[in-house]
Amino acid sequence: MTDNDSIRLTDIQRYSVHDGPGIRTVVFFKGCPLRCSWCQNPETQSSEDELAVFLDRCIGCGECIMTCPAKAIAVTEAGPRTDPERCRSCGACARVCYSDSRCLYGKTLPVSEVFETAARDRVFFENSGGGVTLSGGEPLFQASAAAKLLSLIKASGIPTAVETCGYGSTGDFERVLEYTDHVLFDLKLMDGKRHVDATGTDNGLILENLGRAASSATKLIVRVPVVPGVNDDEENLRAIAGHAASIGVKEIHILAFHQAGRSKWDALRKAYPLKDLKVADGDSLVAAKKILEKAGLSVNVGGGGES
């Protein structure tokens, strides 16, 4: 991956209100050990550079064709098309694309530069109770760099938060947890086999780290993405509620599955397994909320900041 002085990321997004309390700047790390079929940020799964082509944005100017050093782009009746066998994901075409039809996801920046960018909106953080959130991808995938960035942010007096799937070694998780004020911890499925089927990984390590977060002084919010037909059944929700309550979790956020990320799957030329799945409806969210509340948990539907 990277050393602890640099970070592989896809974006630094300012003025977010859905990734922790208040107004926040979110650093999206590139690379994740999970392969969730419903992922809304597929560009963050791989740690490698990836070229995305949004065909509906193309204005047909032809600059990409003239610029491509690999001659991977050709004109067709439907517009410019890229040969994946020739494309090197060098980003030359993206740099000359006037309409942002072509985007290169992936860049490596020094931790110090990421910190300076993330800290620019300090006045908004102070006025709203916000701060900086590390997201992804998965920050634990670059734990040393994430911990260094968090330590700089926290030392400057800015509140910190981490959005995580919890999949990382004990040492990595504790190193990141040390400098984190809020942990937004995704919990998808309790059954180990079902978790492997849906995400590609076992959940043993995830549940261990959830317990560590729950026993720490860090503010913990568990987030459950409700994906129809994947994890919205009563058995799974009761298991999540029971486990969360047993380790002292107080607050859970329900996040409804949506299709906002589908265009990125298409642009990356990745097969999207849930393209025909309907979004979670209001009735299913209400039902999920009631199940979780029966365990004595405070439940927020939508996950806007914190309840």
Which element (helix H / strand E) includes 245? helix 234-246
Residues 233 and 112 in one domain: yes
Residues 215 and 254 in one domain: yes
Residues 13 and 143 in one domain: yes
**What is the token pair recorded at 27?**
């650093």
Residues 142 and 216 in one domain: yes
- Write the pLDDT tens digit of every residue in 229-269: 999 999 999 999 999 999 999 999 999 999 989 999 999 99
Q: Give me the torsion for CA of 121, 126, 132, 133, rounded to 10°.
A: -130
Q: pLDDT band at 36, cuts 50/70/90?
A: very high
DSSP state for residue 137 in the 8-state scheme? S
Report yes or no on whether pTM surpasses 0.85: yes
- Write the pLDDT tens digit of every residue in 50-97: 999 999 999 989 999 999 999 999 988 877 889 989 999 999 999 999
Residues 177 and 201 in one domain: yes
The total number of structural domains in the chain stands at 2
Q: Is 121 helix (H, G, I), strand (E, B) or coil?
A: helix
**What is the token pair recorded at 172?**
């990595």
Q: Is residue 246 part of a domain?
A: yes
Q: What is the pLDDT of residue 265?
A: 95
Q: pLDDT band at 110, cuts 50/70/90?
A: very high
> Domain range spanning residue 180?
6-47+107-301
Q: CA–CA separation, 249 vs 293, rounded Å? A: 12
Residues 18 and 68 in one domain: no
CATH no. for residue 206? Answer: 3.20.20.70
CATH no. for residue 78? Answer: 3.30.70.20
Place of tokens 């009761």: 238
Q: Is residue 307 part of a domain?
A: no
Q: Is residue 306 part of a domain?
A: no
Q: What is the pLDDT of residue 231?
A: 95
- Write the pLDDT tens digit of every residue in 180-218: 999 999 999 999 999 999 999 999 999 999 999 999 999
Tell me the C-alpha to C-alpha distance, in Å, between residue 221 and each of 44, 122, 173, 259.
Answer: 22, 23, 16, 24
Residues 125 and 100 in one domain: no
